[in-house]
Structure 1
């Protein structure tokens, strides 16, 4: 057998590299991958990161919520729902219902300030259409203090936070954040599925740990 020449070894290496690259692309495109990925190369906002500011319209009002303004007075809880991915998410409904049931405890933990638990309802629709969807989501429920529902039309906020779930019939990764001093993330939980979300107890414990 003839020894491999430099040219032959280089050709073999090239074939191996090409095969590896093709496999990586195929594996990355498999639906249902458990890896949490945000828009583009960015990963979801994590503990220690500074949260990008946002100004989002409040559902049912003509006012807006601005994260930096709220955060200047203390910690803020931001809960990202799935919004309207083609239907009203039943798990989002249960999550919000659990928070409504513990609203007084949450309010006490946040210093009894208004709008300290910001529920983000994202969607690709125009704001007028998303407002209609958000109204359907709330139904007859009235959010008690300190909760407020805001809309993210065009999903600019969730994209800037690295939470865009870029798949068919998806919007955002269900997430919860406790934003501390200087808009720094003090605690977070990001789910790469429809379930596995932060519980009220987890959020309350994160607030106690501030």
Structure 2
């Protein structure tokens, strides 16, 4: 009977949440979101302390949540290696922490590879409609930074360099409608998370399920 009473008491709040959930959903305009376009992008990225490389990204556009405000979910990957001077700085720091009475201790960490996978969402403001649409926005993403190398495998150094954290992004660019369902764009982006920050410039291609915004406009 105690278990039954507990289940009944627990069911009432759940029913209340379900009844009010639709209202909250609508107040946040989440009911307006629907998948309107898919696309991909790529371009140079220059992470701090890491050799420049190429970033690859996919995105899903869920349309307007409010007038001129769009919700876009993204996933990005890049891989590279730490710059030689960054590795040397790490070697010197390790040498300082080691009590070397002979003065002959050396460190040769070699190449340390690093990659980042970032998944999250952007809010983008577009001041005008039409076939050419500039935008500016920002977002929150989860970053998974992974470092690996023969000399650091399984060590505390690898553990210290690996990181999973939330980050923030600022973005701006322009989208252009090329055909009824096809869009092209250029995007500049800056991502910031603990341990890694980087700017990137990307060429963007997008497929719109319905007629692309501004198609046929002068």
The answer to whether TM tops 0.5 is: no
TM-score (normalised: structure 2)? 0.26
Select the structure that is richer in helix: 1
Q: State the TM-score, normalizing by the size of structure 1.
A: 0.26
The structure that has the greater radius of gyration is: 2
Larger RCO: 1 or 2 (CA < 8 Å, sep 6+): 1
Which structure carries more strand by proportion? 2
